[in-house]
Protein backbone atom coordinates (compact mmCIF):
# COMPACT_ATOMS: atom_id res chain seq x y z
CA UNK A 1 0.00 0.00 0.00
CA UNK A 2 1.35 3.41 -0.98
CA UNK A 3 1.33 5.76 2.02
CA UNK A 4 3.27 8.55 0.31
CA UNK A 5 0.04 10.19 -0.81
CA UNK A 6 -1.12 10.39 2.80
CA UNK A 7 2.18 11.85 3.95
CA UNK A 8 2.13 14.53 1.23
CA UNK A 9 -1.24 16.01 2.17
CA UNK A 10 -0.80 19.73 2.68
CA UNK A 11 -3.33 21.28 5.03
CA UNK A 12 -3.10 25.04 5.40
CA UNK A 13 -5.96 26.19 7.60
CA UNK A 14 -7.04 29.79 7.45
CA UNK A 15 -6.47 31.49 10.74
CA UNK A 16 -7.58 34.91 11.85
CA UNK A 17 -3.94 35.99 12.10
CA UNK A 18 -3.23 35.12 8.48
CA UNK A 19 -5.73 37.70 7.24
CA UNK A 20 -5.01 40.51 9.71
CA UNK A 21 -1.39 41.31 8.91
CA UNK A 22 -2.16 44.89 7.86
CA UNK A 23 1.06 46.83 7.44
CA UNK A 24 -0.09 50.19 6.12
CA UNK A 25 -3.24 52.32 5.95
CA UNK A 26 -4.04 51.32 2.37
CA UNK A 27 -4.65 47.69 3.30
CA UNK A 28 -2.38 46.30 0.60
CA UNK A 29 -0.96 43.58 2.87
CA UNK A 30 -4.44 42.34 3.77
CA UNK A 31 -5.52 42.47 0.13
CA UNK A 32 -2.45 40.50 -0.93
CA UNK A 33 -3.07 37.88 1.76
CA UNK A 34 -6.72 37.49 0.77
CA UNK A 35 -5.78 37.24 -2.90
CA UNK A 36 -3.16 34.62 -2.06
CA UNK A 37 -5.63 32.57 -0.02
CA UNK A 38 -8.16 32.59 -2.87
CA UNK A 39 -5.56 31.71 -5.49
CA UNK A 40 -4.28 28.88 -3.26
CA UNK A 41 -7.80 27.47 -3.00
CA UNK A 42 -8.17 27.55 -6.77
CA UNK A 43 -4.77 25.90 -7.28
CA UNK A 44 -5.61 23.15 -4.78
CA UNK A 45 -8.94 22.52 -6.52
CA UNK A 46 -7.19 22.28 -9.89
CA UNK A 47 -4.56 19.91 -8.51
CA UNK A 48 -7.23 17.67 -6.95
CA UNK A 49 -9.16 17.62 -10.23
CA UNK A 50 -6.02 16.76 -12.20
CA UNK A 51 -5.09 13.95 -9.78
CA UNK A 52 -8.61 12.57 -10.04
CA UNK A 53 -8.45 12.53 -13.82
CA UNK A 54 -5.04 10.83 -13.82
CA UNK A 55 -6.22 8.17 -11.36
CA UNK A 56 -9.41 7.54 -13.33
CA UNK A 57 -7.49 7.14 -16.58
CA UNK A 58 -5.02 4.81 -14.87
CA UNK A 59 -7.86 2.76 -13.42
CA UNK A 60 -9.67 2.47 -16.75
CA UNK A 61 -6.53 1.55 -18.65
CA UNK A 62 -5.73 -1.26 -16.23
CA UNK A 63 -2.61 0.27 -14.68
CA UNK A 64 -1.49 -0.74 -11.23
CA UNK A 65 -3.69 1.52 -9.10
CA UNK A 66 -5.93 0.52 -6.25
CA UNK A 67 -9.62 1.22 -6.52
CA UNK A 68 -9.68 2.97 -3.16
CA UNK A 69 -7.00 5.43 -4.33
CA UNK A 70 -9.18 6.40 -7.30
CA UNK A 71 -12.24 6.79 -5.08
CA UNK A 72 -10.33 8.88 -2.54
CA UNK A 73 -8.99 11.19 -5.26
CA UNK A 74 -12.52 11.57 -6.65
CA UNK A 75 -13.82 12.54 -3.21
CA UNK A 76 -10.98 15.04 -2.74
CA UNK A 77 -11.75 16.61 -6.11
CA UNK A 78 -15.45 16.79 -5.24
CA UNK A 79 -14.79 18.42 -1.87
CA UNK A 80 -12.33 20.88 -3.40
CA UNK A 81 -14.86 21.88 -6.02
CA UNK A 82 -17.62 22.29 -3.41
CA UNK A 83 -15.31 24.42 -1.27
CA UNK A 84 -14.40 26.63 -4.23
CA UNK A 85 -18.09 27.07 -5.09
CA UNK A 86 -18.95 28.00 -1.50
CA UNK A 87 -16.09 30.51 -1.35
CA UNK A 88 -17.28 32.04 -4.60
CA UNK A 89 -20.85 32.24 -3.31
CA UNK A 90 -19.76 33.89 -0.06
CA UNK A 91 -17.61 36.40 -1.94
CA UNK A 92 -20.53 37.28 -4.21
CA UNK A 93 -22.86 37.61 -1.21
CA UNK A 94 -20.37 39.91 0.51
CA UNK A 95 -20.04 42.02 -2.64
CA UNK A 96 -23.81 42.28 -3.00
CA UNK A 97 -24.15 43.25 0.65
CA UNK A 98 -21.57 46.01 0.21
CA UNK A 99 -23.38 47.25 -2.90
CA UNK A 100 -26.66 47.48 -0.95
CA UNK A 101 -25.09 49.71 1.72
CA UNK A 102 -26.17 53.30 1.62
CA UNK A 103 -23.69 56.06 2.21
The predicted pLDDT at position 26 comes to 57
Is the Cα dihedral 14, 17, 20, 24 positive or negative?
A: negative
User: Model confidence at 22, in pLDDT bands (50, 70, 90)?
Assistant: very low
Residues spanned by the domain of 71:
39-103
Domains identified in the chain, total number: 1
| Any domain includes 87 | yes
| Any domain includes 30 | no
The predicted pLDDT at position 25 comes to 55
The conformation of residue 64, written as its DSSP 8-state character, comes to S
Global model pTM greater than 0.85: no
The predicted pLDDT at position 10 comes to 52
pLDDT in tens, 67-102: 898 999 999 999 999 988 998 899 899 999 999 998
| Any domain includes 29 | no
The angle at the Cα of 98, spanning 93 to 36, to the nearest 5 degrees, equals 65
| Any domain includes 86 | yes
Amino acid sequence: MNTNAINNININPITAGSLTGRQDQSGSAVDADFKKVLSDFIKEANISDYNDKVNNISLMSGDDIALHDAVISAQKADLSLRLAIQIRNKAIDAYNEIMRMQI
